[in-house]
Amino acid sequence: MASIIGSQLGNGSKMAKGYAVTVLVVTLVFSASFSWSWGALYWTIPGEIYPVEVRSAGQGAAVALNLGLNFLQAQFFLAMLCCFKYGTFLFYASWLVVMTAFAVAFVPETKGVPLESMAHVFARHWYWGRFVKDHQKFGEVST
């Protein structure tokens, strides 16, 4: 009887170890992919879109929000993993799809645009143009 229980526990441990290694690898791949792509955006976007006068406050707000959301993610990740199993990674993948759609629709291309012209870029955008006054359009010089 003890040998049967021992063999069942041994098989269960091997499966659990394989699952744990898989979860670790998937987590590392997700973290590396996120760091190389979306992870840097919370540093880049506020640095490009805010005027010089409020850039430090905007960057500070972005960092505070990021750290707060990272804290919440760390608190809920293991509970989600226990409840949803592999669905946890599908949850995060679906948010990446939503974030990509948001970026395509709402984040204008700023490559090669000087910081002084950023208001003009956002003023010409289909959505942000409602909120940003285009100083260049009216012949005003922004300082």
pLDDT of residue 2: 43
Nearest alpha carbon to residue 45 among 94, 98, 106, 93: 106
Inside any domain, residue 102: no
pLDDT tens per residue across span 52-93: 888 899 899 988 998 999 999 999 999 999 999 989 989 988
Q: Is residue 72 included in any domain, yes or no?
A: yes
Q: SS3 helix, strand, coil % of the chain, rounded to 5?
A: 75, 0, 25
Full-model pTM: 0.63
Amino acid at site 54 = V
pLDDT one-digit tens code per residue, 122-132 = 889 999 899 88
Structural domain count, the chain: 1
108: left (phi over 0), alpha (psi -120 to 50) or beta: beta
| In the predicted structure, residue 141 carries a pLDDT above the cut 60 | no
Domain for residue 58, yes or no? yes
Residues spanned by the domain of 9: 1-86
